[in-house]
Amino acid sequence: MPKIGFLGAGKMGGAILVALKNAKAAEKLYACDAYQPRLDELKKKYKVQPATALEVVEKCDVVFLAVKPQDLEPLLKSVAESEFAAHPLYISIAAGRRLEWLEALLPKAAIVRAMPNLAVSVGEGMTGYAIGSKVKKSQAALAGKLLALTGKAVLLQEEQLDAVTALSGSGPAFMAYVLQAMIDGGEALGLPADAAKTLALQTMLGTAKVLQSSEGSISDFIKAVTSAKGTTAEGLAVLEKSAIKGTMKRTLSAAARRSKELSKI
């Protein structure tokens, strides 16, 4: 098993770290973070070894780059000075920092760029990732295996990661928005707020699980739960006349466009 380190152990990096710990995917885990209480917590709960950035790079086979994007450049410049800088496989989850930019700072290193979402914190994350020019097949396979331990992972071309950012990165907020609208609709029909929330949440969760386990299309699923002249058909008729499909396309387009803009800052 590889030794795995984290440069940054905040919400997203910490969630990935915990997932790898629970899966027993590492011989040993190291973490470097500016917030000492966070390191103390990780050491106490998960036996993570606190370390400096240089120690993480020198000791680990895989290093997750999980600091804020604006803090990444000075961090990489500092570790690039190490004679071990090109040893580990780096997996960057820094939003907007493209492979070309990362490889300019670590020119001899194997780097993977990943876009996870918040659901990694409950083991149901969705991560799109792309591999850099120095990544070997075995390293790409290892990256995919590690990322999949947080939920699911899909290998894509880097130019597709802006779409990943929009669909699965920002997607939880968009789905929550739709969920809240359903909850509000339930309350308007006379349901107590807590009951409406429970009904909507479980309905979304159950639907996702059924669709995930089904070999049929989403269209087939909709047809299967819709009886002619029934309640579902009546509601779907309203949705079909609405602008929801176009609105969702514009929503994702706006998020993807912003992702591209941020990568140029």
pLDDT in tens, 162-217: 999 999 999 999 999 999 999 999 999 999 999 999 999 999 999 999 999 999 99
What is the per-residue pLDDT for 81? Answer: 87
Q: How many CB atoms lie within 10 A of CB 201?
A: 13
Of the pLDDT bands very low, low, confident and very high (cuts 50, 70, 90), residue 263 is: confident
In the predicted structure, residue 77 carries a pLDDT above the cut 90: yes
pLDDT in tens, 138-164: 999 999 999 999 999 999 999 999 999
What is the per-residue pLDDT for 195? Answer: 98
Average pLDDT, integer, range 33-38: 93
Ordered domains of the chain (ranges, CATH): 3-157 (3.40.50.720), 169-262 (1.10.3730.10)
The residue among 115, 117, 125 whose CA lies nearest residue 151 is 125
Distance of alpha carbon 170 from alpha carbon 109, whole angstroms? 29
The residue among 130, 88, 86 whose CA lies nearest residue 105 is 86
What is the per-residue pLDDT for 104? Answer: 96
Average pLDDT, integer, range 20-30: 96
Of the pLDDT bands very low, low, confident and very high (cuts 50, 70, 90), residue 41 is: very high
Distance of alpha carbon 94 from alpha carbon 40, whole angstroms? 24
Distance of alpha carbon 120 from alpha carbon 18, whole angstroms? 10
Cα 68 off chain centre by: 15
Distance of alpha carbon 26 from alpha carbon 48, whole angstroms? 11
What residues does 116 pair with on adjacent strands?
none
Name the average pLDDT for the chain. Answer: 95
